[in-house]
Structure formats: C-alpha cells, structure tokens
Structure 1
Amino acid sequence: MYNSVGWSAYTAQPAILNQAIINSLDIITAWQNQRLIGLIRTVGDGQTILYIQDLLVAPGFQQQGIGTKLM
C-alpha cells in the first residue's frame, strides 16, 4: 500500500515500518474482495490524544470517498 502511493521513505526500511504498524493505536482498512485499497493508521497516548499518522488510498480508488469513510 505504501509503495503504491509513493511513500518509499516508509518502505525503505520494512522492519521499522512493520514495528510502527504494530505499535499503532489502531489500523483501519478498506478492502475490495481480497485487495487492500485503503488504510488509516493512528498513533497517540491511548487516553486523550489521537493523531492520524497515515491515510492512504490506492491510486485506482482515489477520489471515491474511501479516505473520508476511513476517517
């Protein structure tokens, strides 16, 4: 997903990206059949702060409201 939207700084170090995903407060995804087409990743303190770190929609599915629904 990250490569498909050009976020290569994330994918240059897959182990770090994997750990970042594991340590996220939540990951919400959108799927079309078995294909991941959207992802939102949140970070925060688990009590009062929630930050949208990543919001990605696959290029062929952008401008269709998927990002808005993930929010």
Structure 2
Amino acid sequence: MITFSEQRDIAIEQILPIYELNGWSSAQKPQALYQALLNSHALVSAWNGERLVGIGNAISDGFLVVYYPHLLVHPDYQGQGIGKRIMEILKKRYEQMHMHMLVADSEAISFYEKCGFTRAGKTEPMWIYAGNDH
C-alpha cells in the first residue's frame, strides 16, 4: 500500500535514485537538490513501506503564486496514480492561490493536463538552465 507524507525526514540516499532513474540532472548536485527540497514551501512524498517511490514539491510566495518544480515517481511505480495523488495533495494545499504554475515537456504535458493544468495562453517558458536533460 502506498502512503503519502508531508514530513521532511527523508535521507538524500532515498531521494537520489528517483532523480537518477528519471534522468534528472539535479541528481548531479545532490546537496543542492537536498536543500532545495527540504526548504521548499511544501514537500510531499510517496512511500511503499520504507521505500521512497515518489516526491513532489512547491515553491510559493504564500499569497498569490505557487510553482511546482519537481514531481517524480520511481519508474517501477509509474502509471499507478502516485504522481496524480501527489499533485492532488499539493493543489489542495494551494487551492486559494491566484496562479498555479509549472513547466512540462514531452509526455509530462498530457499528465498535467489530466491534473487540470492548461497551456498558459501564448506564453513561452524561458530559463537560464545549467542542466542537460531537456
């Protein structure tokens, strides 16, 4: 049975495999990744017993805007509704916010559309990015 938690007592050794298996370049900066997750406005994790199988976070000003930078599920557990449930928990926490934002590419676009997100008009995502995974 999968359980969900908003506790932050997660070891970096539990987090890194999910990022590595999903090919996220932030795994190459483990201490920065760890601090970023622990210092997020919200952090939701999914567990199969003692095994971390999913994680998602939010950054927010606490009043108007929330941004969802990370949502990952271990490849062995994808397609079971874990990512959707993490997003539901996060969206519920921020339901009064004026704007919910995220950046999605490839197959993640249809996933987020199923979670209620739509393309942001004629806007274009822009960044200065140190990774190489997109």
Is the shorter-chain TM-score for this pair beyond 0.5, marking a shared fold?
yes
For residues 18 and 38 of structure 1, the distance between their equivalents in structure 2, rounded to whole angstroms, comes to: 15
Aligned partner of 2:84 among 63, 68, 71: 68
Give the greater-gyration-radius structure (CA): 2
For residues 62 and 42 of structure 2, the distance between their equivalents in structure 1, rounded to whole angstroms, comes to: 10
Partner of 1:57: 73
Write the letter of the residue equivalent to 1:15. Answer: Q
Query: What's the Cα RMSD here?
Result: 1.1
Gaps of 5+ in 1: none
* Misfit runs of 4+, over 4 Å: none
- Give the number of aligned pairs: 70
Deviation at 1:3?
A: 1.1
Partner of 1:4: 21
Partner of 2:51: 35
TM-score (ref. length: structure 1) = 0.88
Gaps of 5+ in 2: 1-17, 88-134
